[in-house]
Structure 1
Amino acid sequence: MTEECERLLTMRDRVDEVRDRIPRPIEEVYAWHWPTSRQQRELFNVTRDFFEAYYSALSSVSGVIARFVPAFGVNFSDNGPLLKWARAEISELTHDRSTELERARVFRALLAHPQQFPAYDWLTATRDGYEYIHVVLIGPKGRGKNPYPPGTSSEPFAGHGDWHFEAPDEVSVSNCLMSLALSVLARVWVAIAHRSHFHRQQTVEYGLRRLNPAYLDLGAHARGVQSVRDLEDLPPASELPAFR
C-alpha cells in the first residue's frame, strides 16, 4: 500500500506541475491565461493518470483489509462496496471525505470505462470558489432511464453539454484517501496488539495518534500532505503529542 500511496502523491504533484506551466497574469494569484491546446491536453492526460493512481491506491487499501479479514470481517472484490462499508463502519471517515472518495471513484470510471456511459467531451476551466484550472467532462443527455452518468450535474457547463462533471481536486482526493488508509492501518495495529501477550490493549484512537500526529494536516481541504521530514518549523517538543 505504501508504494501505491507514494505513486498517488507523485501524480498529485504532477497535476500541479502541468498546471503551473500555464502562465498567470502578474497581478492575480489565482488566475490563468488561456491555455494552449497542448497545455490542455497535458492537463487532461495527467488528470487521467492521477485518477488511475487513485484507484490503484484505493485497491491497495482493499488488499490490506483482505489480508486481515479476521480483524475486519469483510472482503471486497470492487471498490464501490469498499467505500460504502467504510462510510458506515469507519467513524472518523467524515461524510465530506467519503463523498469525495466516491466522486473520485465515479470520475475515474467515466474515464476508464467509456463504453458504460454516454459519450463525453472535455474542457478546462476555472470558476468562482475554485480557481485552480481543472478538467471538466461534458456530454449530451443519453437515452433510457438513466440519461445522465452517475455523479454528474444535469446542467450545462458554461453553455456546453447537457451535463458536466468537474474533476475532484487532486489534493483533496489524496488527503481523503490517506485518511482512509490511516484508519484501516490503525485497526490493523489494534488487531495485532490484541494478539500479543506483551502489549497492553490498544485503541483505534491510539493507533491514529501514532500513525498521524496531530500537527500533520490531512484535512480534506489542505493543499498538501506533509511528512515529518518535510516540516521546516516543527513545534517545540513540549507541544508534540505524547505517545504512551
Structure 2
Amino acid sequence: MEPYDSQITYWLHHASHCDLSPQHRQATRHLEESLHRLERKRKAIEAVRARIPRTGLGLVAPSEAQQHDLFDTTQDFFQTYYATISALAAFLNYAKRVTRADVPTRSIAKFIDFLRSGYLRRRNSSYRALMSARDFRTVLDHSPGHATFDWLTNGSAKQPVHIVLFSRRAGRVPEGADGDPAIGWAFRAPDDAQVMEALIEALAFIFGRLTAEYRTPQMDATCSWEADGFGSAPAIAFENHVGELMRTSPRTAFDGPHLRAPRENST
C-alpha cells in the first residue's frame, strides 16, 4: 500500500476494537471508503504531473491536454475532499464520549473550526490546509454569488504543477484567494499532499481517543493483526495471541517513516 493508504487503514482499524452502534460502524465504513477514494484522486493528480515534461532549466511545459487533465483531476480531488470531510463530521458526531459536545455537521467551515479547537496537533498549518481546501472547492463549485474565473497551470523547478484560478475583473475576492477587489484575484490550488496529511493528523487524534473511550477486550481477541503494539493499534496489543495473529499480519504495509509521521511530528 502507498503511504496514505496504509495510514488510513491503520487508524480506521482502531474502530474494529471498539464497541460501536450499528449506525456508528456504518459511518466508520463510509469514512474509510471516502478517505481511500480521496487518496485515489490524489494519486490521479500525481499521475498527471508525472507525465508533464520539464525543460532543461527545470521549468514545466505541459501540453494543452495535460493542462485539462490536471484541472479535471484537481477538481475531482477537491470535490471528493468535501464529501470526505463531511463523512468525518458524521462519524465524529456519533462519538459523544470523544467530543463531549455536539459536532457541527451542517457547515464544513464550522466543522474545521471545531477540529482546530482540539483535534489537530499542528493547529495552524493543518487548519490552514483544511480550510483552504474547503475555500478552493467553494470557488470551483461556482455556486451562485461567486465570481466567474479563468484558470491556468503554474509550477517551477522546486514546486509541483498546480492549477491556479483567477479573475482580472473588479469585484469581491473569494475567501481564501489573494487579490484586490479593484483589480482581481488569484487562488492557487492547495497542496493535495498537505491536505491529506492534515486529515491523517486529525484521524490520529480522533481514533486514539476513540480507542480510549470505546475499546472492548472482547474485540481485541478477534483481531487478526499482529499484536506487537505497533502492527496493530498501539494501545491495544493482545499479547496472548501473538503467535496466532502473526500468521495474518499485514505488518509490512506499515514500514517506513510515512506511517510514523503523524505521531512523531508536531510542528
TM value normalised by structure 2: 0.66
User: Hey, what does 1:11 align to over in structure 2?
Assistant: 41
Looking at structure 2, the residues matched to 88 and 229 of structure 1 have their Cα atoms a distance apart, in angstroms, of 35
Q: Deviations over 1:153-178 (max 9, x none)?
A: 1169xxxx721010011111111111
- Is 1:152–1:165's contact at 8 Å kept on the other side of the alignment? yes
CA apart distance, 1:184: 1.7
Provide the residue aligned with 2:187 in structure 1: 165
1:106 to 104, 114, 135: 135
Q: How does 1:1-244 map to 2 (within 5 A)?
A: 1-25=31-55, 27=56, 30-33=58-61, 35-72=62-99, 73-76=101-104, 77-90=106-119, 92-127=121-156, 131-143=159-171, 147-154=172-179, 162-193=184-215, 229-230=252-253
Q: Provide the alpha-carbon RMSD of the alignment.
A: 3.3
Q: 1:56, 1:176 → 2: CA distance?
A: 16
CA contact (8 A) 1:155 1:164 kept: no
Report Cα offsets for 1:85-126 as digits up to 9, x if no partner.
111222524210111110001001111133231111110011
2:179 and 2:186 in contact (8 A); partners too: yes
Contact 1:104–1:173 (Cα < 8 Å) also in 2 = yes
8 Å Cα contact 2:155-2:162 kept in structure 1:
yes
Decide whether the 8 Å contact of 2:150 with 2:167 is kept in 1: yes
Q: Is the 8 A contact 1:83 1:102 kept in 2?
A: yes
CA distance in 1, matches of 2:189, 2:173: 16
Task: Decide which structure has greater helix share.
Answer: 2
Question: With structure 1 as the length reference, what TM-score do the two structures score?
Answer: 0.72
Instruction: Give the match's secondary structure for 1:124.
Output: strand
1:37 Cα shift?
1.6
Shift of 1:57: 1.4
Looking at structure 2, the residues matched to 124 and 58 of structure 1 have their Cα atoms a distance apart, in angstroms, of 26
